[in-house]
Amino acid sequence: MEEWINLNRPEEEINLLSPLTWAYVGDCVYELYIRTNLVNTTNLKPHKLHIETIKHVKAKAQAKLLEEIHEKLTDEEKDIVRRGRNAESHHLPKNANVQEYRYATAFEALLGYLYLTKQFKRLKEILNEEKS
């Protein structure tokens, strides 16, 4: 995968990106993970795959997952989560309350940060918590 996705930005630059940028990437990483997992573990048709995917990627589910794994995070990861949660978004959530939306953004920021900094082993550990 690294051959076709350029991840050459230095960590110092990634640290300076907005947490909402991390969340933007993390949203995609998580959705791709969920979709791939469903394709690999079910025989559902595309519409049903979509319905199942939504159950996992909606803000409420992401906020709940972050709550479940929070104590397993390192101090650095908790700082990333805090920055993601506190990022000023001018987007109003449709299907979640503001707190759920902020925690979902924090979860996505963590995933995006780990992905952009090539911490793939840790990213995989956190994503595998979703299955637990």
**Residues with a known catalytic role:** 27
Task: Name the DSSP letter for residue 45.
Answer: -
* Cβ–Cβ under 8 Å, residues 89 and 47: no
Q: How far is CA 51 from CA 1, 47, 87, 108, in A?
A: 27, 6, 29, 20
Structure token pair of residue 9: 């930005």
- DSSP for residue 93: P
Locate all alpha helices (DSSP H) within the chain, ordered by sequence. Answer: 11-16, 19-41, 46-57, 59-69, 75-86, 98-116, 120-129
